[in-house]
Amino acid sequence: MTTAKTRQEAAVEALREAIVDGVYAPGQRLRQQELAGKYGCSVIPIREALHQLAAEGFVALDPQRGARVAAFDGRMLEEIFEVRIALECIAVQRAADRMTPQVAEGARRILERMERPNLSPSDWVRLDWEFHDSLCACAEQEYLRKTISTLRRQMEPYLRLDLAKVGTIDYGRREHRRIYQACVRKDPEAAGRHIVAHLQRTVRGFVEYIRRHANHP
């Protein structure tokens, strides 16, 4: 039998994916009764899910206005990326030093899946993180890996932007391939340079998009 906790987790995952996929626009009201009907559960797991998503930055809660999809904050995104760039550069350089055929093959398979046409935003986001995390794991510094994972979770609300218009997908494919090739060559300097360039280009694209129109559905 499905427990209340399981229903809450299912609601969190479903709502998070819907927000990332753009089903709900920034500022859009999220009504508990409607969501409960849509996802086939009571309002209790929905209410708990909204509080969790608020803690993650996906949802804004207001005593008067209720729950809404959170707006974007370009300055906050830049701060998160600044820290992530510094840490992930260290991780990828260490990964290049420690690269094994098994890790390289796993990363290559992820890249192949990322190059499939017509990936949904949620599929791209998932595969993108699988690739980055596979390299962070290869660095063999678990605290560093967990810290980078936490930073990425704080970025997830921004990943619901129109990734095609931001340019993330097309550029990302090429940039990931460069990072991968540097790691396979066991070239830490090149791997670090490519990951920094990749993440800097990514944050510029997101911030420029936010400034133009992301908070104006």
- pLDDT beyond 90 at 147: yes
pLDDT for 63 equals 86
Burial of 124 (0-12, 13-18, 19+ CB in 10 A): buried
What's the CATH number of domain 4-69, 3.40.50.1100, 1.10.10.10, 2.40.30.110, 1.10.3720.10? Answer: 1.10.10.10
Element (H, E) at 165: helix 163-166
Confidence class for position 180, pLDDT limits 50, 70, 90? very high
pTM above threshold 0.85: no
12 touches 52 (CB < 8 A) = yes
Write down the CATH number for the domain with range 74-214: 1.20.120.530
Rounded to whole angstroms, how far apart are CA atoms 88 and 10? 30
Give the chain's radius of gyration (CA, Å).
Answer: 18
pLDDT tens track for 3-35:
556 888 888 889 988 887 778 888 899 999 999
Token output for 147: 């810290």
Question: Which has more pLDDT, 135 or 167?
Answer: 135
- Average pLDDT over the chain, rounded to an integer: 88
- Whether the predicted pLDDT of 1 surpasses 50: no
Number of alpha carbons in the 13 Å side-chain half-sphere of residue 189:
0
Q: Are 183 and 191 in contact (CB under 8 A)?
A: yes
Both structure tokens of 172:
């990302």
Query: Does the pLDDT value for residue 157 go beyond 60?
Result: yes
Give the pLDDT score at 70: 86
Residue-wise pLDDT for 43-64, tens only, equals 999 999 999 999 888 899 988 8
Segments making up each domain of the chain, as ranges: 4-69, 74-214
pLDDT for residue 32: 94
Torsions phi, psi for 72 (to 5 deg):
-90, 150
pLDDT in tens, 71-118: 878 888 899 999 999 999 999 999 999 999 999 999 999 999 999 988
Max Cα distance, the chain (Å):
57
Q: Whole-angstrom Cα distance, residue 127 to residue 117? A: 13
